[in-house]
Amino acid sequence: MKWPSGWPTGLLALLIAALDSHWSSAPSVHALPGPAAWTSGRKLAVRYQVRELWHHGYDHYLKFGALMSIPHLNALIADCPFQLAPLSCTGRGPNWLNPADIAMNDVAGNFSLTLVDVLDTFVVLNDPPGFEDAVRKVIQWVSFDVNTKPQVFETTIRVLGGLLSGHIFAEKPGQPFHLPWYKGELLRLAHDLGERLLPAFHTITGLPYARINLRHGIPKGESTDTCTAGAGSLILEFGTLSRLTGDDRFEKAAYKAYFALWNRRSDIGLVGNTINIFTGLWTHPEVNGIGAGIDSFYEYALKWYILSGEVEFLDVWQDSYASVMRYSRASDGYWYRNVNIHSGDAQYSSVDSLSAFWPGLQVLGGDVENAVKSHLTYYNIWRGFGGLPEVWDMNFHQATSFQYPLRPEFVESTWYLYRATRDPFYLDIGERILHDISIRARVDCGLTGINDLRTNGRDDRMESFVLSETLKYLFLLFDEENQLHADDSHWVFTTEGHILTLDNALLRPISPARRKLRRVESLQCPAYSSPVLVYDEPHNHSRDSGLTGGITTRGDFEYARQLVGRVASENETRWWDPDGWCVLPKHDPYTYNFVLSAHGEVAVEDLSPSAEKLVPVADGYLVHNVTGIRVHIVSRLDGKGYDIAKLGPYAVKTGQKIYFNDSQLILAPPGSQSGSPNSPRTPEVQLRFYLDYVDPLLQLQGPGMHDVISETVVPAATAMFGGDPAAPLSPGDHPLRFGHGDGVHVTRIPDNSLGCAPYAEDLDGAAVVVARGECTFIEKLILAQDAGASGVVVLGTEEQHINPSADAEDLADAGPEINDVAIVVLRRPDAQLVADMLDSVERYGLGEVRLVVEPLDGGHVDANQPANEQKGEEAGRVKAEDPPRVLYLNNHPLINTRLLV
């Protein structure tokens, strides 16, 4: 069916509303829009639809693109396909009559752009005959000896990347796309193109011109401004070309250009959007964001590290990501602003469609949780239009540019998130995207871009990325058995969706000097947990086990819809519950800056610490005196805490450690005098939990009871407020009941598992066990004290110990009585052990568990792992080893630190 090129606005609005209503269902169900579960058969059916849509575009490109002919310019135009004009059913090439038409001429270089760009899509589609036919056509038709002036960036990512990917698959034996007759023709074409692009890099700074004539080089009077993405997103293709040909000029040029940009970053670690290639100065208005003009600069830092192992690109990725998360990320964590590169202040509230790649890059970098949030924003914008408008204003909740040229970025991120979470919600989104593109963009002669999403006004142009990226990622989303999904080698997709990989023989080993400096790279496994709807044990939320839900069951799922101002459809609201709620987002800053001092007082920054304070050592740095040293800490992606990324004047690399040997680093309650004899606190105490049997002759004899833990000793972190459970009593001191004498009874209140509500019962001197979360540590302790408890044991959720603190205002509100009770925190493995012990007692009715604080001179307990249970008849004391001692700042564990004091 051929739709009219422009629809009445009202009719289109009704269509979008109908589509949105059709694709909405209960928020408690995984498959939000889908009418049925995602069976293998359903995925295959959708995959077939994507394949058919792709061939509809490609076949018409071959049919009509090759017929393009302008009679009076025949001498200038080769008889080969350019881009497809799907409305007029003809080919489309450079605008020969208007060289200033950069919108067309930047990509249409008169060299069979679409044909080259789609080469490795045949690999994804598992179509060896189609791949071979396309390779033969490229060899027969393509030449770069043309008098055109395309953009260096677009030509590199679309054409050079396509040739390199095609060569890799055509040459590699042992896989279905190997061509025995192939003699490296694509690589020779790539090398020829690379040499024609190299003159663009002949500048003082090494930053390339944005455009170049492929036959004559740089024209006189060419613009000297370029964008960061254009100059900094060449290393994947140029580096691969150098590795495959042995000609290192290309990699050196791209490397120099990349670091010419990075070395000009601002003091807060942000690069600008545009730069003058001769002066090396950022041009007005000096803004940073994640969208157009900068986007793939970040992407190529991470992906070139993955592909080549060059660790300096990992450093750039980590540092630049930390700066973006600190300054560009909005306060709610769901979208990213354009900010001034020097101050970090917000400049614009617009979001462009190119930035929809960011959630996918976050997944690749390991930050799945933040990827889920940012993706939900783009998803809700899409639902309002049946496409993603080019520019969206977050403040005014409206689009300011309504084009949608079938860009791939949102589809790409959807694929990454599905591979990371396997949540069928993302399959539902993919099906919605396929349906919208099919309805709105499919015409008789191919696929057309949308000029106006409000009226469905169409553009007589099918961009090459529709076939090389958009439908490629959509196909992959539904193709569970695709060979790429089973390949865990270091291959990457370029920013144009081309598959690049390097044989191990082409990788360069890290130099001995750099290896000595960095030691072992400390890479992290990303942490993402599906929301738990019903816990296996309602009184113990620290286990994170139970009935889990998908993305649509997140408490903040509705927030993203409200954020973009999209009105909920009737089909959505009918699932709303009067007792339900929308969780307002809350997140910790991704980075912090501190000037250290031993006792928390304000210290003047030491800009050049001497060797008596701070010295480099073989595997990191050694700090003898913390006072005045500035540290920059960055959140870890595994959820375990933070790492120090900068220490004074030094950049701390992954794999390095910071050792603190300052004897002034002691725990003291806020407001105490460091010189008073009783102010220091022991940061950790040993707690002995033991089973006080009702009848010893009847215990541990029943089925399954041989696994019961009768006694265990675990380390616990003390707080910087309340009573000190390890402090020796002086004459006249009020005795602290918590863990002293024969110990105290340990209890757990299922109806108040977090300890954040007033207790209905009298705790009568017991130590109450609570889970971490929802309220502060001091609030947990005050509520327990009000109920008569002697103290609180918090089941922690982190692998490292955390010493709770409180500010002066909270302590003043609590009053001096807070010193009569104590609070301690167990790290996650030890919390699990104690929870198991309490479970057994409740299950078998074995009496009660009691807690004793072990004396400090009772022997050192040494270990790096949670306690190992001694079971059965030999069940006795189970001891735990101390984890590595790390430094804490504002209750944040710094995992790459070690305390030597």
C-alpha Rg value of the chain to the nearest Å: 31
CB 389 within 8 A of CB 404: yes
- 131 C-beta neighbours (distance < 10 Å), count: 23
Over the range 205-217, which residues count as b (16 or more CB within 10 Å of their CB) and which as e? bbbbbbbbbbeee
Secondary structure (3-state) at 85: strand
How far apart are alpha carbons 366 and 361 in whole angstroms?
9
The answer to whether residue 412 is catalytic is no
Over the range 684-718, which residues count as b (16 or more CB within 10 Å of their CB) and which as e? bbbbbbbbbeeeeeebbeeeebeebbbbbbbbbbb
Q: Which of 106, 409, 479, 662 is catalytic?
A: 409
80 to each of 101, 138, 489, how far by Cα in Å?
21, 10, 36
CA atoms within 13 A on the CB side of 624: 9
How far apart are alpha carbons 772 and 753 in whole angstroms?
9
The answer to whether residue 390 is catalytic is yes
How far apart are alpha carbons 363 and 371 in whole angstroms?
6
Q: Which of 330, 349, 353 is nearest to 395 (CA)?
A: 349
Q: List the Cα angle 549/551/553 in 5-degree steps.
A: 50
CB 550 within 8 A of CB 423: yes
Handedness of CA 293, 294, 299, 305 (dihedral sign): positive
Beta-strand runs (E) in 600-752: 614-617, 620-623, 630-635, 642-647, 650-651, 657-660, 684-692, 711-718, 744-748
How far apart are alpha carbons 218 and 201 in whole angstroms?
10
Q: Which of 295, 299, 428, 556 is catalytic?
A: 295
- Residues near 857 by Cβ (< 8 Å), separated by ≥ 6? none
Name 659's bridge partners.
Answer: 622, 898
Contacts made by residues 428-432, CB under 8 angstroms, sequence distance 24+: 428/23, 428/31, 428/32, 428/33, 428/34, 429/33, 429/379, 430/46, 430/474, 430/477, 430/478, 431/33, 431/34, 431/46, 432/19, 432/23, 432/33, 432/382, 432/383
Structure tokens, 14:
């009704």
The answer to whether residue 481 is catalytic is no
Amino acid in the structure at residue 582: C
Q: Which of 20, 106, 154, 460 is catalytic?
A: 154
Q: Would you please indicate which residues are annotated as catalytic (active-site) residues?
A: 154, 295, 390, 409
